[in-house]
Structure 1
Amino acid sequence: MRTLSQAELLDLWERGHALHPIDRGLLAIHAAFPETQGESVADWPLGQRNRALAQWRCASFGARLRGWTACRQCAQALEFELDAHAITQTPVATGAQAVESGGAAFRLPTSRDLARIAAIDDADEAARRLVEQCWLDEAGTPGAWSDAQVEAIGEALARADPLAEIVLDFDCPACGESFQESLDLPAFVWAEMEAQARRLLWEIHTLASAYGWSEAAILALNASRRARYLEMVRT
């Protein structure tokens, strides 16, 4: 893994700006892990993808991951904090692993599978379609699975790849509601990277306007010296 320079981070943000959130995560992995350039990261199990993104996040922004959500019952703002380093230490499943449930075999879900169901609004239908896509056994009819069977298959896949879905537990202090939410790590990390990119663009604009320096010259300054110049511009 390599840590991106500020210029590379801006380039990554620009290239991923118009992409779907799923594709942005894959783009970031390719940029941070050059050894994956000839590899289809879209076919990695989701846990492997999430661990790679957590590794890049730790290297780029630190391990302390903080965010906000809202209580489902009363809309109270709730803060959460997560140690991204713990994610990087969690073992992940490999793409060669098959999971058995109810006498049928399934492969682990991938980013490509998520992209295929991204437009489905109904959660139950999306879960069924995901299970059908991961089905390896050609004996039988996928559509004959009951809702309970689909749920059992999903649980078996989740046990086999525990990082595929990062679930956060919340207890609202305002109304006492307890609930869970999934953390979309690609979208979360990209939002952090985009915020950093926009801060860099503001710094470049401010210093270029004040001193006439080029973008490359401004990015070549270390963060401390650049902050001092910005402070002088504001005074």
Structure 2
Amino acid sequence: MLRLPVSGERARWRPMTGEDDIALADCAPGLLGALAFVSRSVVDADDRAIDAGALPVGDVDVLVLARRREVRGDAFVAEGTCAHCGADVDVSFSLAAYADHLRPRVPRGARQDPDEPRWWTVSAGVQVRVPTVDDVLDAAAAEDPRALLLSRCVRPYPLTAPVRVVERAMAALGPTLRSDVAGTCPECARGVLLDVDAREMCLADLRFLARAVYDDVHLIASAYGWGSDEILRMPTARRRRFAELIVGGAAHVLEEVGVG
């Protein structure tokens, strides 16, 4: 069970099935796709589906990173281009260390509202809360995204404090996992900074892996005559094992007859 760093909620990924893999493989990129993925497959401490739209964006980021770590491990490689010489640059880092570096922090002098824990007093008479996924998606479709977020996440509104004060407070209390990662160019040896959107990179990685479900269903259906619905209801780990056995058996037969 994972304690989410911004909201403090407890959540975990439930065991995935082929149906979940299909949904992941076909999900949209960006925050909307992450919302669909988390909403479908994450449960709370009572094993109830979590309301991912009500979570801060940073918590959804952490959940996606946690799933990628479960599936492929903690090591991650970000790719980019050196701004000085144009060479390709790879920077390796730990997802756990990256997420820990970007944990929430309480701004100096900020006080949590004891009656409404989501709200923080950050200036005389001014309170803020961290925007949720739903807030951000609604803002993206609004005529004035910034104004919509401020109207929902600051009180009183219109503002009685400088915008930069409340925006810095919200960023500190609810950081996302998009940040620069430092490295060294292998060609010119100068320092580079790569813009790393860790949630989106991990989601793309998971989406790519999930597409194996189509090959797995074809293999298993061809070998055993099972229907696709039956195969898709299987836990992902079990389905993958069946597919590996089929591929391994075929390779063994080819070796015996001297092919390959």
Give TM-score scaled by structure 2 length. 0.64
Gaps of 5+ in 2: 1-11, 106-111
Distance in 2 separating the partners of 1:120 and 1:184: 26
In the alignment, is residue 219 of structure 1 matched against residue 239 of structure 2? Answer: yes
| 1:3/1:56 contact within 8 Å kept | no
Does residue 116 of structure 2 align to residue 105 of structure 1?
no
The structural deviation recorded for 1:196 is 0.9
Change over 3 Å in CA distance of 1:27–1:34 after alignment to 2: same
Which residue is 2:248 aligned to? 228
| Aligned position for 1:150 | 163
CA distance 1:118–1:227, shift in 2 (3 Å): farther
Shift of 1:22: 1.6
Equivalent position of 2:197 in the other structure = 183
Q: CA deviation at 1:195?
A: 0.8
Q: Greater share of helix residues, 1 or 2?
A: 1
Distance 1:3 1:81 in 2: 29
Which whole-Å deviations, capped at 9, do the CAs of 1:83-129 have from their partners, x for residues lacking one?
223437976589614252586321112211221233589xxx75565
Whether contact under 8 Å (2:139, 2:145) holds in the other structure is yes
Give aligned-pair identity as a percent: 14
Secondary structure of the equivalent of 1:49?
A: helix
Q: Distance in 2 between matches of 1:22 and 1:28?
A: 10
Deviation digits for residues 30-75 of structure 1 (CA, Å, limit 9, x no counterpart): 3332337554321212222222222222222222222323345654
The correspondence for 2:80, drawn from 46, 66, 69, is: 69
Superposed counterparts of 1:2-41, under 5 Å: 2-13=13-24, 17=26, 19=28, 21-35=30-44, 37=48, 39-41=50-52
Structure 1 Cα separation of the partners of residues 169 and 242 of structure 2:
49
Matched with 2:136 is 114
> How far apart in 2 are the matches of 1:57 and 1:190?
8
C-alpha separation between the residues in 1 aligned to 2:131 and 2:94?
24
Amino acid at match of 1:22: L
Q: Does 1:194 align with 2:214?
A: no
Q: Is this contact kept in 2: 1:48–1:92, CA < 8 A?
A: no
Contact kept, 8 Å, 1:166 with 1:183, in 2: the verdict is yes
**Which of 169, 172, 177 is the matching residue for 2:181?**
169
Report the more deviating stretch, 71-80 or 190-199: 71-80
Task: Tell me the amino acid that sits aligned with residue 219 of structure 1.
Answer: R
1:159 matched residue in structure 2: 172
Please, what is the CA RMSD of the aligned residues?
A: 4.0
Q: What is the TM-score normalised by the length of structure 1?
A: 0.69
SS in 2 for 1:192: helix
Mapped contact 2:220–2:243 kept (Cα < 8 A): no
Q: Specify the SS of the correspondent of 1:67.
A: strand
